[in-house]
Chain A
Amino acid sequence: MRLNKDFIYRKVGSDSVLVPVGSSSFSGMVKGNATTGELIECLKEDMTEEQMIERLLEKYDAPREIIAADVANVLNKLRQIGAIEE
């Protein structure tokens, strides 16, 4: 899966923000922490969920199930706003 190119990723202070390209309704902005930012970086490449978990395991000292749950949660949010191309 990868990031829909109609979403632009920005860092605002310590927040990671995804903003959708022009449309009248504005419901698609995601604000997240560093993990969200990390995942969005992953989505710039084409990666599977499993690969993302591996990538985060290398970076963060946390149990696999916690990271896996975090990844699933963020991906779910991104899917809901149409930011992911499967």
Chain B
Amino acid sequence: MTGTYKIADEIIFVESVYPTVHEYYRGYEASGTPDFSVKTSVEDIVFEREKTENGEMFPDSYLEEIAMYRKICEKMPYYDTFLFHGSCIAVDDEGYLFGAPSGTGKSTHAKLWCDNLGERAVMVNDDKPLIRICGDGAYAYGTPYNGKHRRGENTKVRLKAICMLSQSPDNGIREITRSEAYPLIIGQTYRPYDREAFVKTLDLVDRLFENVKLYSLRCNMEKEAFEVSYNKMRED
């Protein structure tokens, strides 16, 4: 099955074994000459099954969705774009990106922002946004890959801050240096298998650092966590 989609401002021709990917990409349909094409095969699905924990429990069609994103993210660095594992919120048209290893509570914290800010907050993507480095800043894009709660929009926002989270009984936030942030950011950045794409990704991370403020937040799940993080990042 085939389809054409626009993701992070790139027109992509997508060819899959199963139709599920195309349902998943609903809302991103586009027309026009593709910037690039991606195609998954049975081998790619087998590869994802081996890489995924309890892979044998997932249907081929689900694994193909992951395989397709991998194909896309292997190409994206050639378009100044890379995948970051995090939850991105737009508030008054400024982007805040929360990063942390799976299970830390990125989505939970992002939801606190949404609950407390109401319509001022837009969930751009709750799991795997794409980050594009442009002349005037770094932009986070919504993608079909928006987490298990499927929270996100087909939209983009200029990033103001990246905030790395850790769990804590109390709440506190501080600005961190690039060298402090680097392993945390790289840990949540997709690292392509293609060496050239990987080097481009590291170049893009360097440029990302020139365009955003970096924070470390220790937080619980109370409203105060939102207040502490929002008030600090908002002010700066």
Judge whether B187 is part of the interface by a CB distance below 8 angstroms: yes
Residues of A within 8 A of B183 (CB): 17, 29, 31
- Produce 1/0 per residue, A5-47, CB < 8 A to B: 1101010111101011111101001010000000000000000
> Are A26's CB and B179's CB within 8 A?
no
Interface size on B, residues (CB 8 A): 18
Nearest CB on B from A25, distance (A): 10
A14 to B180, CA, bound (A): 11
> Are A22's CB and B191's CB within 8 A?
yes
Check A26/B187 contact, CB under 8 A, given A10-B202, A21-B198.
Answer: yes
Among B177, B178, B202, residue most surrounded by chain A Cβ atoms (within 10 Å): B202
Partner of A12, one of B51, B179, B195, B199: B179
A31 to B186, CA, bound (A): 12
Residues of B within 8 A of A31 (CB): 179, 182-183
Interface size on A, residues (CB 8 A): 18
> Are B179's CB and A5's CB within 8 A?
no
A12 to B187, CA, bound (A): 15
A44 to B219, CA, bound (A): 42
- Produce 1/0 per residue, B140-154, CB < 8 A to A: 000000000000000
Residues of A within 8 A of B187 (CB): 26, 29
> Are B186's CB and A24's CB within 8 A?
no
Residues of A within 8 A of B177 (CB): 13
Closest to B182 in A: A12
> Are A8's CB and B198's CB within 8 A?
yes
Partner of A13, one of B178, B190, B202: B178
Closest to B74 in A: A22
Residues of B within 8 A of A26 (CB): 186-187, 191
Q: Which 4 A-B pairs have the closest CB atoms?
A: A22-B193, A22-B191, A13-B179, A15-B179
B residues neighboring A (CB under 8 Å) = 51, 177-179, 182-183, 186-187, 190-195, 198-199, 202, 206
Q: List 7 extra interface pairs beyond A8-B195, A21-B193, A22-B192, CB under 8 A.
A: A8-B199, A10-B206, A12-B178, A19-B186, A19-B202, A21-B198, A22-B194
Q: List 25 A-B contacts (CB under 8 A).
A: A6-B195, A8-B195, A8-B199, A8-B202, A10-B202, A12-B179, A12-B182, A13-B177, A13-B179, A14-B179, A15-B182, A17-B182, A19-B186, A19-B202, A20-B191, A21-B191, A21-B195, A22-B190, A22-B193, A23-B191, A26-B186, A26-B187, A29-B186, A31-B182, A31-B183
